[in-house]
Amino acid sequence: MAMRLAADHVKVSVPATAGNLGPGFDALGMALGVADEVEVRALASSEVTIEIEGEGESTLARDESHLVVQALRAALDHVGASQTGLHMRAINRIPHGRGLGSSAAAVVAGIVAARALIAEPDALSLEETLVLANAFEGHPDNAAPAIYGGATVAWKDAEGVHARPLQLADEIETAVLIPSSVLPTKEARAVLPAKVPHVDAAFNVARAALLVNALAGRPEDLLAATDDRLHQGYRADVLGPATSMLRALRDRGLAAVVSGAGPSVLVLGADLAAAGLESGVPAWAEGVGGESWRCVHTIERVPGAMGVRL
């Protein structure tokens, strides 16, 4: 029996995410305080119309090839729901090409929109959403926090992809420093070696385990816990301004990491405003790495993607 649509007008909000968090390469991730919003209307016709405001408004597709539309259609197919025409309005606030999970957010937005449209939303559970998103995206360290919120750990095995929310203490805040320049993920991936020294792998295992514990309420361990030898050093040359910003922050004792593939830089810690990391354009950051930077400071745990019927 085919799944029917129970709504024809839904609204979805999905957060930006930082993958890796330093040592947790392709495994750890965190939701950040910037979100895209997507409104979808199911139409009786077969047409697709898309309005885009904000990031990508002059470059993104406005047809079936748009990532949100592709993911929504894949999710409807997955549960056996009938396809419809769509009118979509996207308000894009997550910067593109800066290591903030914009493509994972688009995929998750489409799946969560489908969940809100169908009669039995449980057919697209959080677990199913992750499986579908990973099939599109292949970056569960971004998809998982976009779905679950907060901080997450994701892994793959013979059965597929899995994720768990991590314990995140109230005092842990994030500040993400976003440069004006972009870095395609493919470029950042291309410089990684096929093999790493055993001693570096052991180094990262210890730091990633320490980071999980630090996030649960030991902010004093965050600086040591965010050290990495698997990817950031190899990417230093392609990361450009991020390498300078990372060094400047860590020299000040702040737990800074490259956000995903960069070039944005994420800081984890308590009372970050006191360190000059409040939202806005911090004067001290101007010109670091020859760049202009803006900061987004988030105090509360960021929820995962949410869809509501209108």
Residues placed in the known binding site for ATP: 95-105
**CA 173 to mean position of chain CA atoms:** 16
Half-sphere exposure of 47 (CA within 13 A, CB side): 4
Q: What secondary structure letter does DSSP report for 55?
A: T
Find, among 4, 275, 255, 19, the residue nearest to 146 by Cα.
19
Provide the annotated binding site: 95-105
Q: What secondary structure letter does DSSP report for 7?
A: -
Which strand (E) or helix (H) includes residue 87?
strand 85-92
CA 69 – CA 88 distance, rounded (Å)? 8
**CA 294 to mean position of chain CA atoms:** 18
Q: Are strands 9-19 and 255-258 parallel, antiparallel or unpaired?
A: unpaired
